[in-house]
Amino acid sequence: MGKIGLTTTIPVEVILAAGRTPVDLNNILISSTNPGEKVEAAEVAGYPRNVCGWIKGLYTVANELEDLEGVIAVTQGDCSNTHALMETLELAGIQTIPFAYPYDRDRDLLKLQIEKLMAYFGVSWKQVNEIKQELDRIRRKVLQIDRLTWEMGLVSGFENHLFQVSCSDFEGDWVKFERKVDRFLEELSERPSSAGLIRLGYIGVPPIVLDLYDYLETIGARVVFNEVQRQFVMPHLAEDLVEQYLLYTYPYNIFGRLKDIEEQIRLRRLAGIIHYTQSFCFRQIEDLIVRKTLELPILSLEGDKPSRLDARSRLRIDAFIDILR
């Protein structure tokens, strides 16, 4: 059975019920040994310089991936660049499969979209719900890792990011992934707490910058809330699959996200927020809404290509952490 490429989180239960292997192209890009070269390869193929680095990297990853049967094209609720990305993939001979999150969170429309995806893959609600039971068990364990991050100080900001972001595709093999999660939880039972670091929230799309979390820890701060990554875990764990993807905040408007962020700021006693935005991303506009809404210190940070933090960003982070001390 082939691989199905994902550019963002979708109802992955459908893909797994169909016996296919979901592959989050973002995770493949950022964990590759040469993500910067993949971005450059897309520019060589003709992608403009002033387009988001993630999009360019995804284009190269999709073209390089073996056994790729198709890519799910999320035409609404993710990225304004997806249309053109999918068109260029189609031109390269890659099958695209459409899926859309309704902007107004309409339940019937979302159900229809999920059922269209199920019809494409030829799976029933019974099969999809059986997979959901399996995934929910793993999601609960990953949510436990998240809890051990902010309540006990046992998990680094990067580890928190990595386990949660992996729940978009369960690393293509949920059985293996669950074993990895179990091993990590076991390891945590012997780990000393690092409570006492400045508690930060990270909001926005996952960073293309490779050493942000580690750098923060070297200067005495830790991310104890990864907003979008936590959403990939489906923290509400609704019984009903459609309800689950309605409660998932990322694909809908920013105000639902802000409500979730405000709740977590209070719960996790955050001292400040890093709002990460990607160069050339339409979501940069939302920074002004974030700044007007949230009532705690915010550092807006921008990343472009996969690389380490540049000197200017490090200086700005240092100054921000000094203010919070």
- For 37, the token pair is 């070269």
Told to check if 305 binds ligand SF4 by CB under 6 A, we report no
> ∠ CA(63), CA(68), CA(69), 5° rounding?
125
Q: How far is the CB of 74 from ligand SF4 (least distance, A)?
A: 10
Q: Restricting to residues 213-252, name those near ligand SF4 by CB under 6 A.
A: none
Q: Residue 55 interacts with ligand SF4 (CB under 6 A)? A: yes
Asked if 278 is part of the footprint of ligand SF4 (rule: CB under 6 A), the reply reads yes
Which of the ranges 9-17, 145-153, 212-220, 277-285 carries the binding residues for ligand SF4, by CB under 6 A? Answer: 277-285
**174-188 and 125-150 helices, crossing angle to 10°:** 20
Helix (H, G, I), strand (E, B) or coil at 106: coil
User: Binding ligand SF4 by CB under 6 A: which of 25, 148, 165, 205?
Assistant: 205
Find the DSSP H helices in 65-124: 82-91, 107-121
- Strand 68-76, strand 3-6: pairing: parallel
First CA to last CA across the chain, in angstroms? 53
Check residue 81 for interaction with ligand SF4 (CB under 6 A). Answer: yes
Contacts of 23 (CB under 8 A, 6+ apart): 3, 4, 5, 6, 65, 68, 169, 172
In whole angstroms, give the CA distance from residue 273 to residue 294: 9
- Residue 48 or 220 having the CB closest to ligand SF4: 48
202 is a site residue for ligand SF4 (CB under 6 A)? no
**Residue 79 sits in the site that holds ligand SF4 (CB under 6 A):** yes
* Contact between 290 and 203 (Cβ < 8 Å): yes
Select the span of 98-106, 144-152, 259-267, 276-284 touching ligand SF4 (CB under 6 A).
276-284
- Residue choice 4, 10, 23, 52 for contact with ligand SF4 (CB under 6 A): 52
Helix (H, G, I), strand (E, B) or coil at 75: strand
Is residue 54 near ligand SF4 by the rule CB under 6 A? yes
Which range in 49-57, 124-132, 214-222, 307-315 contacts ligand SF4 by CB under 6 A? 49-57
CA–CA dist 89, 70 (Å, integer)? 10
Asked whether the beta carbons of 164 and 142 are under 8 A apart, the reply is: yes
Closest approach, Cβ 118 to ligand SF4, in A, equals: 26
Closest distance between ligand SF4 and the C-beta of residue 28, in Å?
Answer: 14
305 vs 316, beta carbon nearer ligand SF4: 305
Candidates 48-56, 60-68, 104-112, 228-236 — which segment interacts with ligand SF4 by CB under 6 A? 48-56
Residues that bind ligand SF4 (CB under 6 A): 52, 54-55, 79, 81, 205, 278, 281, 283
